[in-house]
Structure 1
Amino acid sequence: MISKVNLSLFDASKGLDRGAGRATEVLWYFVKMFFFLSPFPYPSSFKARLLRLFGAKVGIGLVIKPRVNIHFPWKLSIGNHVWIGEGAFLLNFEPLIIGNNVCISQRAFLCGGNHDYRDPSMPYRNGPITLMDGAWVGASVFVGPNVTVGIDTVLAASSVVTKSVPHNSIIRGNPAENLGLRWK
């Protein structure tokens, strides 16, 4: 059998609005490298100010640990009293909306970027991610594009979430399944 995939046909200019000019993006990469990807625990308030400088909407009370990788801050909205754990990766090719009182645990991967594997040229198939108020994304959880996590929903550690999940639920596994209510 011969592969139909032809990556030479991939066009990176289609399907991705970077949302900022090249100079802004390059400057962000240097800021990210020194202040966000660093193991040094720079104050969260300082990092929040940097995010705002690059167009992110950031509420009060953000706690952001070291080694957090944020791809496009200008496509990021963070509510009040949000925790983002060490090593979290926010690949937000499309808008990433994080509500109030949300916890994103260590090494969580919020992946708003993807490719259409049914097309030989593998074009982008990106989408937004929304974490509603009170959501908890456990350690090493993968959340894919076009996913909304409902109010007060828990995504248990190492789960793989590729479609939206309802409010007040406990979601676990790969593929993710709904185990029931968080609050009875």
Structure 2
Amino acid sequence: MSNPWQISSRLRVAVLRAFGAEIGPGVTFRPRTRVKFPWKLHIGAGCWIGEGVWFHNQDDVYIGANAVVSQECFITTGSHRARSDMGLITSPVYIDDGAWVTSRCMVLGGAHIGQSAVVEPLTVVRGDIPPNAVYGRVPGPSVIRERFRGNDVL
């Protein structure tokens, strides 16, 4: 069951800033967001962070201006070596200006989502997604098409 008392976005942003997060003006944080290390979170102006987003940020997460991370996304910057020692490996995540990570995506350390790119729901992102791409998981994670063509919006 969700908490019926919704804490305001402004209060969430203020608390994150108090713990070292860099958050630009006009950012909206919906309820149930989780941030492991606020001082490793950098969000540009005008962003939307959806309900239930989890920043498991053992390394830095950089989100450009006017980007959207939709509900239930998991952004993680850490993993473990595949050897018996299970040593921690971290790598930052970059989500550029105007990008949209749609619902229930998983963004892994080292990912770079280009400007104005869209990631389709339920997609695992690793590596680079070019600017203006629509990236999805069918038939496998790949660029499906360009998001914008000239002045047209797809």
TM-score normalised to structure 2 length:
0.91
Letter in 1 for 2:144: L
Alpha-carbon distance between aligned partners in 2 of 1:67 and 1:101, rounded to the nearest angstrom: 21
| Mapping 1:1-184, distance limit 5 Å | 40-117=5-82, 119-173=83-137, 175-184=140-149
Matched to 2:40, the amino acid is K
In structure 1, runs of 5+ residues without a counterpart are 1-36
Which protein has the bigger helix share? 1
TM-score normalised according to structure 1 size: 0.77
Looking at CA atoms only, which structure, 1 or 2, has the larger radius of gyration?
Answer: 1
- Residue 169 of structure 1 contacts residue 178 of structure 1 at CA under 8 Å; is this kept in 2? yes
Paired residue total: 147
Give 1:40 shift: 3.1
Alpha-carbon distance in 2 for matches of 1:61, 1:38? 24
Matches of 1:39 and 1:63, distance apart in 2: 18
Q: Which amino acid aligns with 1:171?
A: Y
> What is the CA-CA distance between 1:116 and the residue it aligns to?
1.2
Is the CA contact 1:88–1:104 (under 8 Å) kept in the aligned structure 2?
yes
Post-superposition Cα deviations, 1:137-177, rounded to whole Å, max 9, x if no partner, equal: 01000110011100000000001111111100000017411
- Higher relative contact order structure (alpha carbons within 8 Å, sequence separation ≥ 6): 1
- 1 or 2, which has the higher strand percentage? 2
Alpha-carbon offset, residue 38 of structure 1: 5.6
CA RMSD of aligned residues (A): 1.4
Report how far residue 123 of structure 1 moved: 0.8
2:152 equivalent in structure 1 = none
